[in-house]
Chain A
Amino acid sequence: MKFITRILRPEQVRELVTLFLIVIIVLGFGAFLKDYYTGRTFVRISTSIAIIAVVAMAQTLVAITRNIDLSLGSIVGFCAFFLGVQLSYHHEIGPVPAALIAIAVGTAMGLINGLIIAYGRVPAIITTLGTMAIYRTAIVFYSAPEGGIVSAHRLPLWARQFASWSIFKMGDLDFRVMVGIAILVVIIFQLILTYLPYGRRLYAIGSNPEAARIAGFPAQRIVFIAYLIGGALAGLGGYLFLLQYGNLMVLAGVGLEFDAVAAAVVGGVNIFGGTGTAIGAFLGATLIGTLDYSLRRWPAISEFWRNAILGLLILLAVATDSAIMARLRLMWARAAAAMTMELAESKTSSSPQA
């Protein structure tokens, strides 16, 4: 016990639990389903979570500061659309400039959210409920001359093939570029959250806003930047969305914001601020994606059970978090207190004057 509290933090225990659940699901379904342990399964699951993992990262950033972003799905949709239309007319745009375009557009949309929330002091839920509708309307306007759609066959060749590009292949085990991008994003943000003063301040603000104000760091600017980055990530999500699906309608990305909340919550991010990690959110997305795919493969039940089970999963995640995480933290605190006692004793026994 003492050893465990020394090398792990409660959040890491939470991550391990999520990972453990993923393993259980894989082993469980693997026992039932034929041809489950194949490269195909890996490809399907990994590509299905790439977009959601990136968007969940955006949701995690703002959730840590006690905010929420309901407009992410619309931003993803708009960026995908904008880029889709641009690529339809400009085949000369390469993959990297295209990504930059999508990210820039997403950043602009995040900027609007951030300005209204951080500086206009409008509650995040109201603001992003509004911009969710506005950005969706923007898609409608923007796509009107195109007949409201983007078709894959008008995209440049690279964009049609991008989704099947792979980083490395081993038999039918195929590690796709899209997945690589998502994992890179997760790693980058885990590092930001752990090692940059900015990342730590996100936690501080969400942990105790009043104390953050008194400690004197610029809470407004930090929240504003979180939305800016969130927008950028949603832009990247839009880029992946376009390349994954190719054919878009005006409803592209609807509901992604809720999927992102679900992934974050299942991964242990507290949407009321202060706790949560990038890796946790990624594991949450992976858990959902794995369950989703496996259920679809399972012939015994209808594939339509997916959402019913997902809803239950979210509820169980928060219920156990509220019941267990508090206790876990207490256990850690007790262990630390015991250590402090030990330290104090060793100190007094070693010092001669005591």
Chain B
Amino acid sequence: MTEPILELRHISKRFDMTQALDDVSLAIYPGEIHALVGENGAGKSTLIKIATGVHQPDTGEILVQGRPVVIHNSQEAQALGIAAIYQEPMIFPDLNVAENIFISHRSRGPIVRWNKMYQDAREILAKLGVVMDVRQSAQGLTVAQQQTVEIARAISLDVRVLIMDEPTSALSLHEVQQLFKLVRSLRDRGIAVLFIGHRLEEVFDIADRITVLRDGKLISSRPRSEATVEQVIRDMVGREVEEFFAKSSVRLGELVMSVRGLTKHNVFTDVNFDLHRGEVLGFAGLVGSHRTDVALALFGIEPADAGEIVIDGKSVHIRSPQQAMELGIAYVTEDRRKFGLVMPMPICANITLPTLPKYVNGLGLIQRQKEMEVAEEFRRRLNIMTPSVMNTVERLSGGNQQKVLLCKWLNVQPKVLILDEPTRGIDVGAKVEVHHMINDLAAQGIGIILISSDLPEVLAMSDRILVMHEGRQMGIYTREEATQEKIMAAAMGHPEAILERQA
């Protein structure tokens, strides 16, 4: 076998409380697509950041073509022939395609020769088998096109190791196939590709070798020919699905919310469902299925264009978050940093934010004592690890931040609670606690919509599961009839495929 182009040996990395990577060794060979899979928080991102010089390992070493190197930043990584492409493409929206490809080149002479640059860009894109107007401003490109531009940039820089961090998460099925064609052509040209994936079917489609990380440890690494889906899932999860905290069945209460024909043009069409008190309605689907957009419409952030929402028997048009909150709807966002919590502010101020008027006395002053008491109670109930509720949120771990976010919305005492990826990026212990809590809340009679890309989680936690594909509702499955295969097939837009096979 040839020499590995990039080798990581016994890498460990610790962040404050968590061991992100624990003695991980990995070798990547030229002309090979090496897939790295694992649950969120398994250490994939940390590994990439170490390979590209964003983080330095605590222990262990990195070898490029057999020579030990220390990589301090992404420029040094680039010089060593290592480049990464992230979920959110790093392009310059105000420059055109050709410039985006060549902007970081140092040796293109003292003067920009536009025509030559266009020609070179066309050549590179042609080599990749891509058709694109090289004079087009990058602003108007789709995510898939932006990724293509980034790949072209990497190729133009003569990259030998290309790291792709969940590149398919924002792509449609067709675009994924295009991307894979491109990735295979890179492999055939002798480039090593480290592909971080989160959809197993894609990983099995593209990878030559599949490596599984779990809780910062390397669990297994097999050629694809020797790997099976079941085995990989077992390696990723480390436990059978039964170990998930399953929802205890509660007798469903009366109807709390009913949605008919909900539509937002060019986003989602004709969403229909009923939600009962004490019910957990799972929303399954791949990224790009626009589940979150349905939630945003229900919460009034991006109101729907058409359709009917009935809450407690009354038809309502939800136009703003304030209105949604008054109707008893709460939405726990998937992106804590951007939309969920004010990081540099105290825990208690975050928890009371949506209901602040309740903590104001007759003179219009905030009653700090009352705020603290409420926050303190939540801290005990949800076991938030912090010395004081006056501490800022940014100092908490991801799992504890997630708990604060949940507290913030529980404090609203909602009738309908929408949870958007509530366990993404938190460790297993916190995950179980969150599942515990979902169960408690349902038992208290709250109707819960659980959006999750974690299929076993949806299966274990939901009473019924609504599956979406590219903005269309594919069906609602009861707990009894739902299987992993059925949900997956529906999420990929072919609900009947499985049914036929079963028939």
Which residues of chain A have a CB within 8 Å of any CB of chain B? 9-10, 194-197, 199-201, 203-204, 206-208, 210-217, 274-275, 329-330, 332-334, 336-337, 339-340, 343-344, 347
Judge if B477 is at the interface, Cβ distance under 8 Å: no
Q: How would you classify the secondary structure of chain A's contact residues: helix, strand, loop or mixed? A: helix
Measured in the bound complex, the distance between the Cα atoms of B113 and A194 in whole Å is: 10
- Residues of B within 8 Å of A339, CB to CB, are 133
The one of A201, A208, A337 in contact with B93, judged by C-beta atoms closer than 8 angstroms, is A208
Q: Give 24 pairs: A residue, B residue, CB < 8 Å, sorted on A.
A: A195-B111, A196-B112, A197-B108, A200-B112, A203-B92, A204-B95, A204-B99, A206-B94, A207-B94, A208-B90, A208-B91, A208-B92, A211-B92, A214-B74, A215-B90, A215-B104, A329-B137, A329-B139, A333-B137, A336-B140, A339-B133, A340-B133, A340-B136, A343-B133
Measured in the bound complex, the distance between the Cα atoms of B111 and A337 in whole Å is: 29
Q: Nearest chain A CB to B153's CB is how many angstroms away?
A: 8
Measured in the bound complex, the distance between the Cα atoms of B75 and A9 in whole Å is: 32
Q: How would you classify the secondary structure of chain B's contact residues: helix, strand, loop or mixed? A: loop
Interface size class of B (residues with CB under 8 A): 20 to 34
A343 touches B112 (CB 8 A): no
A333 touches B75 (CB 8 A): no
Q: Nearest chain B CB to A241's CB is how many angstroms away?
A: 33
- Residues of A within 8 Å of B78, CB to CB, are 216
Q: Please list the 7 inter-chain residue pairs (A to B) with the smallest Cβ-Cβ separation, ordered nearest first.
A: A333-B140, A216-B75, A336-B136, A274-B94, A211-B90, A207-B94, A215-B104
Judge if B387 is at the interface, Cβ distance under 8 Å: no
Q: Residue among B73, B91, B92, B132 with the most chain A CB within 10 A?
A: B92
Judge if B390 is at the interface, Cβ distance under 8 Å: no
B131 touches A196 (CB 8 A): no
Q: Nearest chain B CB to A26's CB is how many angstroms away?
A: 31
B110 touches A196 (CB 8 A): yes
Name B124-170 residues within 8 Å CB distance of A.
131-133, 135-137, 139-141
Q: Nearest chain B CB to A161's CB is how many angstroms away?
A: 39
Judge if B103 is at the interface, Cβ distance under 8 Å: yes
- Residues of B within 8 Å of A200, CB to CB, are 95, 99, 103, 112
B140 touches A337 (CB 8 A): yes
The one of A194, A207, A216, A332 in contact with B92, judged by C-beta atoms closer than 8 angstroms, is A207
- Residues of B within 8 Å of A274, CB to CB, are 92-94
Q: Nearest chain A CB to B89's CB is how many angstroms away?
A: 9
Given A207-B95, A211-B91, A216-B75: A196 in contact with B136 (beta carbons within 8 A):
no
CB-based nearest A residue for B129:
A347
Measured in the bound complex, the distance between the Cα atoms of B91 and A274 in whole Å is: 12
The one of A10, A199, A208, A210 in contact with B137, judged by C-beta atoms closer than 8 angstroms, is A10
The one of A204, A337, A347 in contact with B103, judged by C-beta atoms closer than 8 angstroms, is A204
17 additional contacts, CB 8 Å, given A200-B103, A211-B90?
Answer: A195-B111, A196-B111, A200-B112, A203-B92, A203-B95, A206-B94, A207-B92, A207-B93, A213-B74, A214-B74, A215-B103, A215-B104, A274-B92, A274-B94, A333-B139, A339-B133, A340-B132
- Residues of A within 8 Å of B104, CB to CB, are 215-217
CB-based nearest A residue for B77:
A216
- Residues of A within 8 Å of B95, CB to CB, are 200, 203-204, 207
Q: Nearest chain B CB to A326's CB is how many angstroms away?
A: 9
- Residues of A within 8 Å of B131, CB to CB, are 340, 343-344, 347
- Residues of B within 8 Å of A330, CB to CB, are 140
Measured in the bound complex, the distance between the Cα atoms of B91 and A207 in whole Å is: 9
Q: Residue among B91, B94, B103 with the most chain A CB within 10 A?
A: B94
Measured in the bound complex, the distance between the Cα atoms of B95 and A203 in whole Å is: 8
Measured in the bound complex, the distance between the Cα atoms of B94 and A206 in whole Å is: 9
- Residues of B within 8 Å of A217, CB to CB, are 103-104
Q: Nearest chain A CB to B72's CB is how many angstroms away?
A: 12
Measured in the bound complex, the distance between the Cα atoms of B74 and A41 in whole Å is: 56
CB-based nearest B residue for A329:
B139
